[in-house]
């Protein structure tokens, strides 16, 4: 049964990106079903307005509660998943959150716009996610990478689980260096261990490189690691 994802947005065409590459193939295979819902279709305003001036004054416009709430209620008729809002108050998105959400069978994403949404719509939201401490032009910009990172961990989307378990952040470390052909490029050779055919030595080399890169470039991640005895030995040898 396909994982069902509904996206409530003012710009459905922005999500055409999911018709391509790995996610597009997963849709064709029936592994994921990504559907967009235009919030404007649910406004009661005859001019299809979905925003208005904020009470109390201030710059910008605010998305009205009515079209948001009505679109959520309609989607809930066929999708019982969590309603996730892409907004600045949410916890910062990370790989751990992506892993948890990839286990869900149904999800609903709400993309905000303008200066935000009417506070009264929050009671229909189960979870809020932020990409970080910076401003985007709309929730769609944040929603795309969030859904992509979730979908690629759904069973069957990638060829093997190793395709994502070895990647940066999955196990708390940055990914080791990667090389491909040719063996020599501009006088620089691929590390000898990688062409040795010795799988255990390759595994240890990759682990050490991941630890070293994480320590050197993301000390915040490195300090959170629960280093194994082998990790400590590898670092000591380094």
- Confirm if 91 and 128 have CB atoms less than 8 A apart: yes
Same-domain pairing of 38 and 73: yes
Q: Are residues 145 and 33 in the same domain?
A: yes
- Binding residue ranges for S-adenosyl-L-methionine: 112, 131-136
DSSP 51-105: EEPPTT--SS-EE-HHHHHHHHHHHHTT--SEEEEEEEEEEEP-HHHHHHHTT-S
Number of domains in the chain: 2
Single residue among 151, 184, 200 that ends a domain in this structure = 151
Q: Are residues 20 and 90 in the same domain?
A: yes
- Does 67 reside within a domain? yes
Q: What CATH number does the domain containing 117 carry?
A: 3.40.1280.10
The domain of 195 spans 170-237
CA distance 111 to 6: 11
Q: Which residues are annotated as a binding site?
A: 112, 131-136
- Residues 140, 62, single domain; the answer is yes
pLDDT of residue 32: 98
Q: What is the mean pLDDT of the chain?
A: 94
Whole-number pLDDT of residue 172: 86
In whole angstroms, what is the distance from residue 88 CA to residue 139 CA?
10
Residues 147, 194, single domain; the answer is no
Is 159 among the domain residues? no
Please check whether residues 74 and 147 belong to one and the same domain.
Answer: yes
Rounded to whole angstroms, the Cα distance separating 212 from 206 reads 10
Distance in angstroms (rounded) separating the CA atoms of residues 8 and 70:
11
- Is residue 156, in this structure, part of any structural domain at all? no
Tell me if 84 sits within 8 A of 128, measured CB to CB.
yes
pLDDT, one tens digit for every residue, the chain (238 residues): 899 999 999 999 999 999 999 999 999 999 999 999 999 999 999 999 999 999 999 889 999 999 999 999 999 999 999 999 999 999 999 999 999 999 999 999 999 988 899 999 999 999 999 999 998 999 999 999 999 999 999 999 998 764 555 555 568 899 999 999 999 999 999 999 999 999 999 999 999 999 999 999 999 999 999 999 999 999 998 8
Residue 103: both structure tokens together: 């286990």
Cβ pair 112, 138 in contact under 8 A: yes
Looking at the structure, do residues 37 and 137 belong to the same domain, yes or no?
yes
**pTM assigned to the model:** 0.85
């Amino acid at each position: 049964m396909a994982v069902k994802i509904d996206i409530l947005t003012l710009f459905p065409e922005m999500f055409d990106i999911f018709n391509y590459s790995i996610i597009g193939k997963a849709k064709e295979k029936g592994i994921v079903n990504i559907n967009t819902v235009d919030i404007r279709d649910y406004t009661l305003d005859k001019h299809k307005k979905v925003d208005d001036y904020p009470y109390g004054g201030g710059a910008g416009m605010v998305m009205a509660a009515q079209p948001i709430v009505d679109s959520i209620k309609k989607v809930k008729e066929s999708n019982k998943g969590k309603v996730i809002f892409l907004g600045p108050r949410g916890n910062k998105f990370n790989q751990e959150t992506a892993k948890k959400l990839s286990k869900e069978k149904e999800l609903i994403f709400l993309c905000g716009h303008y200066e935000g949404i009417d506070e009264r719509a929050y009671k229909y939201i189960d979870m809020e996610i932020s990409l970080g401490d910076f401003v985007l032009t709309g929730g769609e910009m944040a929603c795309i990478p969030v859904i992509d990172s979730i979908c690629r961990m759904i069973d069957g989307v990638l060829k093997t689980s190793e395709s994502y378990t070895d990647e940066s952040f999955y196990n708390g470390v940055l990914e080791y260096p990667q090389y491909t052909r040719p063996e020599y490029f501009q006088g620089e050779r691929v590390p000898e261990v990688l062409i040795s055919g010795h799988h255990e030595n390759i595994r240890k080399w990759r682990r050490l490189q991941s630890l070293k890169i994480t320590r050197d470039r993301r000390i915040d991640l490195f300090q959170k690691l629960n280093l194994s005895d082998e990790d400590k030995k590898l670092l000591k040898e380094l």
